[in-house]
Amino acid sequence: MIAIIAASYKEALTFARGQLLDDDEWFFLSDIDDLIGKSNFHVIVTSSVADTISPYRFERLFSLAKKRGRMK
């Protein structure tokens, strides 16, 4: 499973399609609540995130996603 942190769902979908990912292989991660019930995944960040999310919010989301992604 892959968590995609992107500026929007549309951007995450475009990225996933470009990587030939099926819908059940990825999810869009825009908020900490999106991590509920999820574990054991990789985290990918698209380049436009820095333009749309505050550094504090991004760091909080990314840190928690990395931690949850390692849990089994």
pLDDT tens string 15-27: 999 999 999 999 9
31-70 confidence digits (pLDDT tens): 889 998 888 999 999 887 778 888 898 899 999 999 989 8
Nearest 5°: the CA angle 22, 6, 35 is 75
What is the pLDDT at residue 71? 75
Q: What is the pLDDT of residue 51?
A: 80
Q: Is the pTM of this model over 0.85?
A: yes
Tokens of 55: 């550094």
- 47: domain range? 2-70
Residue 72's pLDDT band, with cuts at 50, 70 and 90, is low
Helix runs in the chain, H state only: 9-18, 49-52, 55-70
Number of domains in the chain: 1
